[in-house]
Every structure is written in C-alpha cells, then in structure tokens.
Amino acid sequence: MIPIKWIKLVVFGLCLIPFGVLVYGIFTQNLSANPIEYLLDETGTWALRLLLTTLAMTPLRWLTGRTEFIRLRRMLGLFTFFYASLHLTTYAVLDLGLDFSHLTEDIIKRPFITVGFLAWLIMLPMAITSNNKMIRRLGKRWKTLHKGIYLVVGLACLHYIWLVKSDLTEPSIYAGIGLLLLLIRFFKFMHVRSKYKKETSQHTVTNQ
C-alpha cells in the first residue's frame, strides 16, 4: 500500500499544475487573445472542478472503504479556495483595476457575481478553520461550519450557469455532478437515520 504522505504529495503536485500552466502562459504571453477572460475562465473552472472533487471524497470513502479519500479532503478544499481566490483576484485587480465602487455595484446588480462572491465568502471561514487547532477549538461547531460546502456547490454551479447564459452544456454537466453528489449524501443520511430509528425501536420493544 502506498503511504498516504506520497499520495498527498502527488495530489498536491497535480493540483498545482493548472496554476503552473497559467503562470507559464503569463510569462510567455501565450494565454489567448483575451488574457483576462482566459484567466477568469480557467481559475473559475478549476475552482469548481476541485470543489466537486472535494465533495466526492466522502462518497468515495463509503464506496471503497478507503480512508485515504478522507485524508485528501482538506487539501482539496484548500486548493478549491485557492483557485476561487485567484478567480476573484483576477476579476477585482485585472478586470476592474481595484475599482471597489465598481466591484460593489457589480456584486449588488449582477446576480451571477452576487452568488459567486457569496460562495467565496462562505468558503473563507472554512479555509481559515481548516487546521487541527481550529478543529479542536470549535469542536462540534466545526462540522456545522464546514457543511457550508453544500451551499457553496449550489451557488458555484448557479454562478457558472448565469455567467454562460447561451451554451449551458458544460455548466449543466458540473451542476449534474454536484446534484448527484448531494443526493448520494442525502440518501446515505436517510439510510442511517432509518437504521437508527429501527434499532432504537427494537431496543425499546426488547426492554418492555
């Protein structure tokens, strides 16, 4: 069996590849005819891909019984926030030139930017608390906070759909994957809940 530290190292390297490609493209001035739009598209798409990958770790753990998936979840979540932050920074700095009045106006008046920014805001405390010290300090509240990923998935997919407007093929695929992953969790929760109620009922009857 491959040690988890080597698996993490490989996954870390793979997650950095898109960033490396973008940096190389910037230095070689070989992005596209519209570099800012290209950077926005790539950082946003990779943030969504990694978000869905992060959400898939728990179902993969259930299906395979391999705990390695859970141990990769935190790293993938942080890389999701990293690319989402690059996406936001590209928009705020390169597209708007740090015109915060324009940024505020866009957030208020343009729905796809509103939901995208809201998704980033929800991820921010999740990223800040993604360390062992904060897990111990928050206790049960940590799990409640990090359930925000479910809302982030919905907002991120909606952001992409409203952004594209015309050809919805790709955003629909991502939205479908996100919905499937959420449904898997929902049915797992219902199964565990039903099993718990059944066991509780049987225990009550036995004690009577």
Most confident of the ranges 19-33, 74-88, 160-174, 185-199:
74-88
In this structure, are residues 21 and 147 in contact, taking their beta carbons and an 8 Å threshold? no
Residue 46, both tokens? 């990779």
- pLDDT > 70: what percent of the chain? 94
Q: Which pTM does this prediction carry?
A: 0.90
Residue 86's alpha-carbon distances to 45, 138, 172, in angstroms, are 11, 28, 23
- pLDDT > 90: what percent of the chain? 62
pLDDT average, residue stretch 115-124: 96
pLDDT average, residue stretch 58-69: 90
d(CA 150, CA 38): 27
Q: Which of 74, 79, 62 is nearest to 146 (CA)?
A: 74
Q: What is the pLDDT of residue 178?
A: 95
Question: Tell me: the pLDDT tens digits for 122-158?
Answer: 999 999 999 999 989 988 899 899 999 999 999 999 9
Residue 19, both tokens? 């960033």
Among the residue ranges 71-75, 95-99, 198-202, the one predicted with the least confidence is 198-202
d(CA 73, CA 124): 16
d(CA 139, CA 121): 22
Q: What is the pLDDT of residue 208?
A: 56
- pLDDT for 207 beyond 70: no
Domain ranges of the chain: 4-191
Q: Which of 161, 143, 184, 147 is nearest to 56 (CA)?
A: 184
